Amino acid sequence: MHKIINPPTPKILINSIRQIGYSFESAVADIIDNSISAKSKNINIYFPVSTKEEPYIAFVDDGNGMCREEVINALKIGSNFEGERSSYDLGRFGLGLKSASFSQCRKLTVVSKRDSVLSAFGWDIDEVEKSNDWLLYEFFDKDIKNFPQIDKLESLEKGTLVLWRDFDLMAVKLDGEIGLHRQLSNNLEQVREHIALVFHRYLNKKVSIMINNDTIIGLDPFLEKHLKTEGGKASNISLKNQKGKDFSVIIQPFTLPHYHDLTDDDRVLLGGADKMRDSQGFYIYRNDRLIVYGTWFRIRVKSEIAKYAKIKVDIPNALDDIWEIDIKKQKAVIPQKLMAHFRKTIDDIRSRSEKKIRHKQIFEGQDSNRIWNKKTGRNGKESYFVNLDSKFIKEYVFENFEEVNQSKIFRLLEIVGAAIPFDDIYNSVCNQNIEIDLDEERERLIIDEAVKMVKALVDMNKTNVEKALLMLLTFEPFNRPNIAAKIREEFEL
């Protein structure tokens, strides 16, 4: 056996790194992670207000700073780190600074100050492509003094400046009406909301994060200080990492106040009525930093009755491998050992959320097999609504759409349900001028969909045709006698 060195091609690899899949917000959050890991107390994100300046984004922190060798290592693709990771470290693979930055810009520069000495290095993707080599620029005083916001770093005893320039990927997507400066400004407004949520524990206790000197206020997704927020008992579960060492995972359920018990400020904090449904589910924190939120991990689907249900989960970075935390720190997978506990917690908290809703309004004839249902409000007036807890709707959306799109589908159904033309229907009924039976085309659509659903259940070896039909034909609209008969005819039953 003979060994040879087979290094990656730099210009290919660096462009592959750019396509890992960061959003603008997640890329910014990754840079903030590094600042927090460096024990920064103040982090400021700057961008040019004047269109006369070259577009840039500059991150300035007052953390520990780095010496020359440490800056070089930090900019290495797969930076070298030896020894135990500290419990407060928010890093993951030694790629975050580079992968997050390259996903947004072609020029990445890092200037760090320690012991009154400035060390500055940078990547230029144009140079890497031209030379097809890992040629890192080193900058000296003459270059450094021209960097945007360098004066902010120079005024600090120690700290780091991360500079993004040449936003080629963003520029390509611009339309003719919005320039790059305006797009950066718009993106950073979205970043503000993202930071307020993802880093809310830091913002509310120990770190100040600003955009152009404007301080960001943390948004607590649980409204823990609200008198009507109900916090359940926290569970402490021991979980072993890959080295066999025990670490704690802390799980605590919360039921938020009913929408009518919220102030206008509370509603703003939660993003409004539409986001309350979207934001239900688990909130996974890693070292106080929110990683994944507003998801039931496909254990359950989002529903109207569960919109006040949230579950807080705290994990240490020592369990990253067990939770399969990805490089962007945006995804996680529940360890199998915790699945049973998670299911029980979900069922309990969703039940509490349902009780809170039913306490405020009376539902009549609730049936999970029906697509439309009726409720009576506290004023005694009745209203009809699309039953988003219908078994058919939930299973259809759950099976055919990723969770990121499920909430959009449910919101669309809510809007459609709120737009019932009552007056027209009333007039048509009074005039006996309404068609109740389905026309041939719509009937065919329903039958074809039923056939697909039955076959899918059978193909997945979940059941046989007869049992699948028995289950499906309990749902609206498949349970109408004439439609049920035609569906059975498709299977010659």
Chain segment 11-26, per-residue pLDDT in tens: 999 999 999 889 999 9
- State the pLDDT at residue 312: 95
State residue 204 phi and psi, 5-degree precision. -90, 0
141/261 same-domain check: no
Give the structural domain span for 409: 361-419
Q: Is residue 148 part of a domain?
A: yes
* Residue 220 counted as domain residue: no
Give the total number of structural domains in the chain.
4
Residue 210 shares a structural domain with residue 75: yes
Q: Where residue 362 falls among pLDDT bands split at 50, 70, 90?
A: very low
Q: Which of 215, 250, 271 delimits the end of a domain?
A: 215
Q: Cβ of 481: how many Cβ atoms within 10 Å?
A: 8
Please write the tens of the pLDDT for every residue from 439-473.
778 888 888 888 888 887 777 666 688 887 887 78
Phi, psi of 209 (to 5 degrees): -120, 130
The pLDDT tens digits of the residues spanning 300-315 come to 877 777 888 999 999 9
Q: 77-80 long-range CB contacts below 8 Å, 24 or more apart?
A: 77/13, 77/14, 77/17, 77/134
pLDDT confidence of residue 272: 64
**Same domain? 135 vs 272:** no
pLDDT recorded at residue 359:
55
Look at residue 3 and tell me if it is in a domain: no
Q: Are residues 444 and 398 in the same domain?
A: no
Mean pLDDT of 388-399: 72
More confident residue, 350 or 12: 12
Give the model's pLDDT for residue 12: 95
Answer yes or no: is 30 within a domain: yes
Same-domain status, 342 and 412 = no
488 within a domain of the structure (yes/no):
yes
More confident residue, 408 or 4: 4
What string of H, E and C letters represents the secondary structure of 428-441?
HHHCCCCCCCCCHH
Answer yes or no: do 264 and 328 share one domain. yes
Residue 186 lies in a domain: yes
Any bridge partners for residue 295, and if so which?
A: 282
- Residue that is last in its domain, among 160, 192, 215: 215
Give the pLDDT of residue 23.
92
> Which of 215, 241, 266 is the last residue before a domain boundary?
215
Distance separating alpha carbons of residues 106 and 84, to the nearest angstrom: 32
Mean pLDDT, residues 203-218 taken together = 92
Query: Edge to edge, what strands does the sheet with 382-386 contain?
Result: 362-364, 372-376, 382-386
Q: Write the pLDDT tens digit of every residue in 142-178.
A: 999 999 999 999 999 999 999 999 999 998 888 666 7
pLDDT of residue 267: 81
Question: Residue 274 domain-assigned?
Answer: yes
Is 351 found in the same domain as 341?
yes
State the pTM of this model.
Answer: 0.74
Q: Which CATH number covers residue 348?
A: 3.30.230
> 10 Å Cβ neighbour count for 405?
11
Segment 215-233 shows an average pLDDT of 91
pLDDT-derived band of residue 364, with 50, 70 and 90 as boundaries? Answer: very low
- 222 inside domain: no
**247-265: per-residue pLDDT in tens?**
999 999 999 988 888 888 8
Same domain, 188 and 265: no
Judge if 260 and 159 occupy the same domain: no
The residue written with tokens 């809510």 in the block is: 414
Locate 297 and state its tokens. 């991990």
Say which CATH number the domain at 64 has. 3.30.565.10
- Amino acid at site 13: L
Give the integer Cα–Cα distance in Å for 8 and 348: 51
Average pLDDT over residues 321-341: 84
415 and 425 part of one domain: no
β-bridge pairing 281-286 and 309-315: parallel
Q: What distance separates the 2 farthest-apart alpha carbons in the chain? A: 90
Residues 106 and 154 in one domain: yes
**182 pLDDT above the threshold of 60:** yes
The end-to-end CA distance of the chain, in Å, is: 65
The token duo for 79 is 């930076």
Q: Is the pLDDT of residue 185 over 80?
A: yes
**Range with lowest mean pLDDT among 49-58, 145-154, 354-363, 366-375:** 354-363
Residues 379 and 440 in one domain: no
Whether the upstream peptide bond of residue 477 has omega within 30° of 0, thus cis, is yes
